[in-house]
């Protein structure tokens, strides 16, 4: 957006919105009304919400990352981006986790019990329940559905915001790190890898944060649902739940495979992006020598290798999602079959309660839990890749101090990178090489003294070290 236009747009309506307005999304109504009257334009956009700005999030995560680096240096361990994200967003996630518990247990788990009591009212010959109590149970079923609707929208919106803030914060941290990479670190990475980190890996936070809490919520809900089903049909409920839980180890194995495929996919994507950058940068030479077809084959091979692993991930996800379709029907059939086999008589109430509970378990264990395992596995791979980039070597900071001229003029805002000696540039017994793994140094016992105001020319044949000398003076050569 044009900077002048950005200064004239209205502030974000969420800044002054009340809790009720945020919970019900009421602050977005004026935008919808405006769009109903006419087409929305660029001038109708609002400023970025202050808590979502990249500078604010970048400053916060950088401060926590620097503390993590200091602690890791003392303990002789590698700094962990995972711990940094937990320190920055852990409290907000715990609050939303509590909302998730309320929604799952007060809404979904309680609803089958109320439904069972309501169905029991219509049992022939029952006289223990009055019509008023039946209305109360029916109202409870409706209230549980209403509670889920009222909590789900603000809950999911808050989760999306946390995922977005994690992504924006990590992008800002990656950008700041890229500006400080040493020459040896730049030689170990590529532009394609950095682009892939900023465009692909950080996007895992947007999806993984939605399902992560179900790694804990889903098993807890299985335990609670099993207890209530045991009250209805006894040991038959345990048999059905055991059949359902047999799918969990298979889902875990498939999730591990997805994580491996995800890591290989990221590696192939880095190679493809690097190849495309080289092709684009040398397109004039390629066209001059009519090498379009050979290079097109190279790009096609790189893309085909990437698609191979992407297709594998899609197949594995399809297998995991297929469990969601038939798992509850199989478990319900096994439970009823076992209940009848033990000589018991099945009733409509028991069938309705079992069906409702198995639908809840199916949603959480075979869909949300499976998604959580897959998404968290992919997020762990992304965090590992981000962590590897963030711990690369950095250029030494250039010290800034007040120059003598500034002190004489009384201007403390004038800084200089020159030392207070008689030389503008001075190197004593300098030794440097492009990569720490090289056995031989590019420079050894280098001594340079250049006075201020003097003109110095560095000449020599190609490969003699002129550019290396300039990099050394700029402190970009370790």
Q: How does pLDDT run across 6-50, given as a tens digit for each residue?
A: 556 788 888 888 888 887 888 888 888 888 888 888 888 888 888
Q: Which of 307-316, 378-387, 418-427 comes out lowest in average pLDDT?
A: 418-427
To the nearest whole number, what is the mean pLDDT of the chain? 81
402 SS3 class: strand
Residue that is last in its domain, among 370, 390, 410? 390
**Same-domain status, 378 and 425:** no
Instruction: Report the alpha-carbon distance of residue 196 to residue 320 in Å, rounded.
Output: 27
Residue 252 lies inside a defined structural domain of this protein = yes
Q: Quick check: 343 pLDDT over 50?
A: yes
CA angle, 287 as apex, 283 and 289 as ends, to 5°? 120
If DSSP codes are grouped into helix, strand and coil, which group holds residue 409? helix
pLDDT at position 465: 73
At 160, phi and psi to the nearest 5?
-60, -40
Average pLDDT over residues 344-355: 85
Co-location of 425 and 372 in the same domain: no
Distance CA 319, CA 315 (A): 6
Q: Are residues 342 and 427 in the same domain?
A: no
For residues 198 and 174, is the Cβ–Cβ distance under 8 A?
yes
CA distance 265 to 202: 15
Domain of 319: which CATH number? Answer: 1.20.1560.10
pTM flag (> 0.95): no
Position 59 confidence tier, pLDDT thresholds 50, 70, 90: very high
- Interior/surface letters 190-216, b for 16+ CB within 10 angstroms, e for the rest: bebbbbbbbebbbebbbbbbbbbbbee
Token output for 386: 């981000």
pLDDT in tens, 79-94: 899 999 999 999 999 9
Dihedrals phi, psi of 47, to nearest 5 degrees: -65, 160
Give yes or no for a contact between 422 and 467, defined as CB atoms under 8 angstroms apart: no
Q: Is residue 374 part of a domain?
A: yes
How far is Cα 447 from Cα 256, in angstroms, rounded to an integer?
56
For residue 16, give both structure tokens.
């002054």
Residues 329 and 441 grouped into a single domain: no
For residues 228 and 291, membership in a common domain is answered with yes
Specify the 3-state DSSP secondary structure of 180.
coil
pLDDT at 64: 93
Q: Which domain holds residue 427?
A: 419-473
* pLDDT for 397: 62
**pLDDT above 70 for 60:** yes
In a domain, 20, yes or no: no
Structural domains in the chain (count): 2
Question: Dihedral of CA 172/175/181/185: which sign?
Answer: positive
Query: Residue 238 pLDDT more than 80?
Result: yes
């Amino acid at each position: 957006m044009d900077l002048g236009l950005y200064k004239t747009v209205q502030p974000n309506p969420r800044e002054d919105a009340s809790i009720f307005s945020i919970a019900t999304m009421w602050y977005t109504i004026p935008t919808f009304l405006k769009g109903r009257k006419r087409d929305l334009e660029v001038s109708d956009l609002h400023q970025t919400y202050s808590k979502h700005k990249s500078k604010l999030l970048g400053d916060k995560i950088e401060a926590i990352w620097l503390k993590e680096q200091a602690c890791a240096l003392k303990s002789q361990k590698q700094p962990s981006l995972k711990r940094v994200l937990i320190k920055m967003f852990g409290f907000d996630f715990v609050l939303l986790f509590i909302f998730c518990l309320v929604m799952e247990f007060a809404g979904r788990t309680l609803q089958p019990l109320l439904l069972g009591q309501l169905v029991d009212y219509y049992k022939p010959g029952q006289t223990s329940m009055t019509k008023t109590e039946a209305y109360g149970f029916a109202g409870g079923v409706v209230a549980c559905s209403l509670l889920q609707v009222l909590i789900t929208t603000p809950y999911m919106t808050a989760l999306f915001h946390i995922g977005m803030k994690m992504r924006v914060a990590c992008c800002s941290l990656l950008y700041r790190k890229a500006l400080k990479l040493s020459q040896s670190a730049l030689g170990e990475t590529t532009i394609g890898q950095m682009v892939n980190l900023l465009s692909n890996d950080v996007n895992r936070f947007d999806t993984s944060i939605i399902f992560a809490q179900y790694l804990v919520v889903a098993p807890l809900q299985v335990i609670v649902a099993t207890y209530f089903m045991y009250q209805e049909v006894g040991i038959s409920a345990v048999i059905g739940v055991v059949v359902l839980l047999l799918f969990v180890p298979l889902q875990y194995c498939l999730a591990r495979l997805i994580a491996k495929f995800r890591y290989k996919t990221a590696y192939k994507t880095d190679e493809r992006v690097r190849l495309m950058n080289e092709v684009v940068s040398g397109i004039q030479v390629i066209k001059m020598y009519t090498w379009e077809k050979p290079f097109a084959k190279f790009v096609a091979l790189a893309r085909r290798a990437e698609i191979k692993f992407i297709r594998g991930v899609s197949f594995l996800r399809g297998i995991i999602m297929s469990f969601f379709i038939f798992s509850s029907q199989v478990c319900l059939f096994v439970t009823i079959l076992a209940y009848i086999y033990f000589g018991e008589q099945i009733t409509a109430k028991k069938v309705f309660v079992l069906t409702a509970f198995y639908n809840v378990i199916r949603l959480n264990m075979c869909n949300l839990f499976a998604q959580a395992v897959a998404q968290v596995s992919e997020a762990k791979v992304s965090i590992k890749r981000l962590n590897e980039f963030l711990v690369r070597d950095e250029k030494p900071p250039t010290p800034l101090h007040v120059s003598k001229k500034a002190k004489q003029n009384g201007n403390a805002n004038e800084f200089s990178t020159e030392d207070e000696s008689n030389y503008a540039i001075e190197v004593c017994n300098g030794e440097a090489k492009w990569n720490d793994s090289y056995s031989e140094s590019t420079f050894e016992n280098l001594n340079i003294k250049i006075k201020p105001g003097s003109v110095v020319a560095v000449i020599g044949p190609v490969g003699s070290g002129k550019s290396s000398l300039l990099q050394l003076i700029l402190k970009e050569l370790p």
